[in-house]
A = this chain, B = another copy of it.
Amino acid sequence: MSLEENYPTIMLDETDFRILKMLQNRANLTTKDLAAKVNLSTTPVFERVKKLEKAGYIKNYVAVLDAGKLNKGLMVFCNVTLKEHTREIGNQFVKDILSLKEVVECFNISGDYDFFLKILVRDMKEYQNFVLDKLGGIKNIGSAHSTFVMGEIKNSYAVPI
């Protein structure tokens, strides 16, 4: 009964999956390109894409930028615990975290920590400032453990289908 699930549920066939796979690798393929690859004319492909958008399978189209070129070449994972686990304190933490633009991902996790943050900054100095000025200003953080990314093997936003 969640608010996000109010899309129509539809059946996808093999062609739909092929279209989704191609679009999550290159969203600027034209309908014509897609049509050629699935051996159809443009009309059914156009209608399938619209169907997939309206049904919520395709949530958005985004440009992938180069973090390093934009001076955000240091990726840090920060695992955080809260001092208390009431809903109110959790909600406040979430609200505070969402205001920090350096935090590009935040998940509530199982295990020793409560939250996992992925942070993008320019360098160590900027990360130090982030921890001291921004993370340090958030209430009810019990502990924070930083892990630094040394090398990127694979970084995809694609869903494995």
Q: Which positions in A face B, CB cutoff 8 Å?
A: 7, 20, 23-28, 55-67, 69-70, 72, 75, 77, 94, 97-98, 101-111, 113, 115-116, 120, 147-161
Contacts and interface: CB of A to CB of B under 8 A. Distances in A.
Given A70-B57, A147-B111, A148-B110, A157 B64 contact: yes
Copies of this protein, total: 2
Contact of A101 (B94, B106, B160): B160
A27 B63 contact: yes
Listed from nearest, the 8 A-B pairs whose CB atoms lie closest are A108-B151, A23-B63, A106-B153, A101-B160, A27-B61, A110-B148, A60-B64, A28-B61
Contacts of A75: 107
Contacts of A63: 20, 23-24, 27, 58, 60-61
A13 to B, nearest CB: 14
Nearest to A104: B156
A80 B151 CA distance: 14
B109 A149 contact: yes
